[in-house]
Amino acid sequence: MIVEKKRLSKIFRNLNDMPIAVVGDVMLDRYLWGNVERISPEAPVPVVYVERETARLGGAANVAWNIAAIGAEPLLFGIIGNDMFARILQKLLDEYKIATDYLVTDDKRPTTAKTRIIARGQQMLRIDRENIIAINRKVEDRIIGGIIDSLDKVSALVISDYGKGTISRRVLKKIIPIAREKKVFIAIDPKENHFGLYKGATVVTPNIKEAEDAVSIKIKDKAALLRAGQKLKKLTGAENILITRGSDGMSLFYTDNGVENFPTMARQVYDVTGAGDTVVGICAVIAAGGGTLREAAIISSHAAGVVVRKVGTAVANSSEIAKSIELEQVKKGVIK
């Protein structure tokens, strides 16, 4: 699937500094890189000699990073703690020129952090630090108020729901109707136990496991996929459903009940971490920038194909996406 070069350039030009609201579970992705040379004498586990540490934006912060990487301006709404990980996260946001003004600090919650231990290119262990209890009313009010105030100036609202507490029933019920009233494009990366709360979304982007769990259908063939997609539309009340299916590509269920399948654009896969963040962020910003939903699906598929070739949470910039599309055109003989 391709988008013509002139058309792609026009869409990308439209994105320059375009404000996009992103709300959800903000996370810090940490990586400890090292080598294994022996087994511990204390227990039958490998000893990892750490050689370096890195940190990247995760969750809703990764969605914002992907949006910033192609030239738009993300307004990131979320919750952080008052801790070391919050300071690392804020430093990364500053580095990528993503404003931290809309983040709410909650002294009673830790900053959500995922620490991955990687030896010789292989992930050996992940350590999660989080509090998934629902946010308190005062913090909830600040998140809701900030988003509502932003809706007059943003072109899209992206909801990144990892089920860590930021995206509550009340948050969704308050912000989605107002965003719809203001004709803001609404894209949601969902959590399966919240599917019934997404009524009014423009597009919901579950991965295949989330789709299967939400509707209790094992997607093993085309017929099951069609049943699952239609059932998800009814369950969510969303206009469109975009199911990401890993190596099988993506399937877009349109408002008019049409269905279109898009092949994967991943030529090599090193790490799928954050690919869903890329899809929902790029899909929303492309559609908000004048692209059709079909073009948004194609371009986000290419963007995801770029990021899975990188180790760890990553982004795809406009040049990388354009190059991926050009390679696809060469492959299909559209250009030589």
Residues with Cβ within 8 Å of 229's Cβ and at least 6 positions away in sequence, in order, are 211, 241, 243, 251, 253, 259
Give yes or no: 277 in active site.
Answer: yes
> What six digits make up the tokens of 68?
């910033």
Q: Which residues pair with 100 in a beta bridge?
A: none
312 close to 271: Cβ distance less than 8 angstroms: yes
Name the one residue in this structure whose structure tokens are 């931290």: 100
Q: How many CB atoms lie within 10 A of CB 332?
A: 10
Question: CB-hemisphere CA count at 13 Å for 225?
Answer: 18
Q: How many CB atoms lie within 10 A of CB 44?
A: 7
For 235, the 3-state DSSP assignment is helix
58 close to 29: Cβ distance less than 8 angstroms: yes
Out of 25, 29, 106, 277, pick the active-site residue.
277
Burial class (CB in 10 A: 0-12, 13-18, 19+), 3: buried
Q: Which long-range contacts (CB under 8 A, 24 or more apart) does 304-307 make?
A: 304/244, 304/265, 304/266, 304/275, 304/278, 304/279, 305/264, 305/265, 305/266, 305/267, 307/66, 307/274, 307/275, 307/278
| Active site (catalytic) residues | 277
